[in-house]
Structure 1
């Protein structure tokens, strides 16, 4: 299994958790972003810097991901594409996207997008809190316990 992270907007604590987990479990981690990232020295951890532009990071991740891989992203359309490739998607707040829930999440995201396009203020995501970091760490641990050796 390879872990990919949509790292442009990835909270620092989540990046740290991912790096520690990769080293601890001997898993490959690739952080994909359109900016330079600082990572700890490890042969298991890499970065890919892509150009600027709409969905450039997403396209790179979709091209790289294989069945069984894990992608960390808050981008619901990217999560849907990853799931179509029989990979897994986990958001930085600890929600695992699945074949059972991704279509509903995508429909809600599209509805909110349409409302915002029509001038309705829908707000953004809530601030990232410690409880989000803990939820992510717990869900990542559960996921890796079940899937790391596959």
Structure 2
């Protein structure tokens, strides 16, 4: 079961965790972005550069993934599509998306987008913390352990 990474907005520290995990667990990990992504030499690390454009990387990930794959993304609509195809999904902060919570997350995302477009909300997400890094690493480790059992 490969890992697909929405690499355009993926924090560098998360990429580094994924580099090490792919090598240690020997799982193919593909970083999809509309710009070049540098990865260390490894038979398990791949990059796929897509043309510039709205949701082009997301569309490429959805087109390539299979049931049981893992998708790492902060993009809620991409997460929803991946879940629909049977993928496991979590964000770089280690928060899992599932059939049970994705509708609520989509609704909240749409609500926040409406507020932003009306000028009501100007701040973005909190900066990436050490706790976020640990939560991601722990979530990835749990997924990889399940993967290894299959």
Task: Answer whether contact 1:5 1:30 (CA < 8 A) is retained.
Answer: yes
1:5 alignment partner in structure 2: 5
- Structure 2 unaligned spans of 5+: none
2:94 corresponds to 1:94: yes
Q: Measure how far apart 1:74 and its partner are.
A: 0.5
Q: Measure how far apart 1:129 and its partner are.
A: 1.2
> In the aligned structure 1, how far is the partner of 2:148 from the partner of 2:102?
22
Q: Measure how far apart 1:117 and its partner are.
A: 1.6
2:63 alignment partner in structure 1: 63
- Structure 1 unaligned spans of 5+: none
Q: Residue 89 of structure 1: SS of its match in structure 2? A: strand
> In the aligned structure 2, how far is the partner of 1:26 from the partner of 1:41?
13
Q: How does 1:125-140 map to 2 (within 5 A)?
A: 125-140=125-140
RMSD across aligned C-alpha pairs, in angstroms?
Answer: 1.0
1:45 alignment partner in structure 2: 45
Task: Answer whether contact 1:7 1:31 (CA < 8 A) is retained.
Answer: yes
Q: Measure how far apart 1:122 and its partner are.
A: 4.8
Once the two structures are overlaid, the 10-residue window that deviates more, 55-64 or 121-130, is 121-130
> In the aligned structure 2, how far is the partner of 1:74 from the partner of 1:148?
25
> In the aligned structure 1, how far is the partner of 2:59 from the partner of 2:116?
25
Q: How many equivalent pairs are there? A: 150
> In the aligned structure 2, how far is the partner of 1:103 from the partner of 1:148?
30
Runs of at least 4 residues off by over 4 Å: none
Calculate the TM-score normalised by the size of structure 1: 0.96
Q: Measure how far apart 1:37 and its partner are.
A: 1.1
Calculate the TM-score normalised by the size of structure 2: 0.96
